[in-house]
Structure 1
C-alpha cells in the first residue's frame, strides 16, 4: 500500500512539473538551459570550490536577469 501511494505521488509530481514546463515561454527555457550549462562548465573546471572570473560573473549576471523571478532563487551562482 505504501509503495503504491508513493508511486502515485511521484507520478503526480512529475506530471505537474511537466505541465508547469509547458506553461513557460521558450525564451525562459532557453535562458535557463544556458545558465545551467555555464554553471556545469564552471563546476567542471574547479572541483572543490569554483572560482569565477570576470567573464563568468558578467555572463551569469546577464543571463540570470532574464530568468523569471521564482527561478532566480534556485541558481547556484547569483
Structure 2
C-alpha cells in the first residue's frame, strides 16, 4: 500500500527473486480485489515460464486479499505458497525494504 502525493492510496503487487534480487512489479491499482490478485498470479506464472525460471517457493504475507484461488494457481504449477509467520517481520525482510 502506497500513498501518492495526491492522497490516493495504491496497492502494488511485486515479487523479488531472492537469488538475483530481481524485482518484478506485477501491477498496481487503487482497488485491490481477490480477482485482481488471482489474475496477477496467472500472469506471474506465465512470465516465469517464458523466462525459463525455476521457482519452488513464494513467500507471501497473511493479507486477506490473497484468496484460495491465488494459492491454487501457484499449486497447479508446483509452486509452494509459504505464508509469513505471525509477528515475524524478519521472515519477509527483503520485500519490506
Shorter-normalised TM range: 0.3 to 0.5
Calculate the TM-score normalised by the size of structure 1.
0.40
Higher strand share: 2
Higher helix share: 1
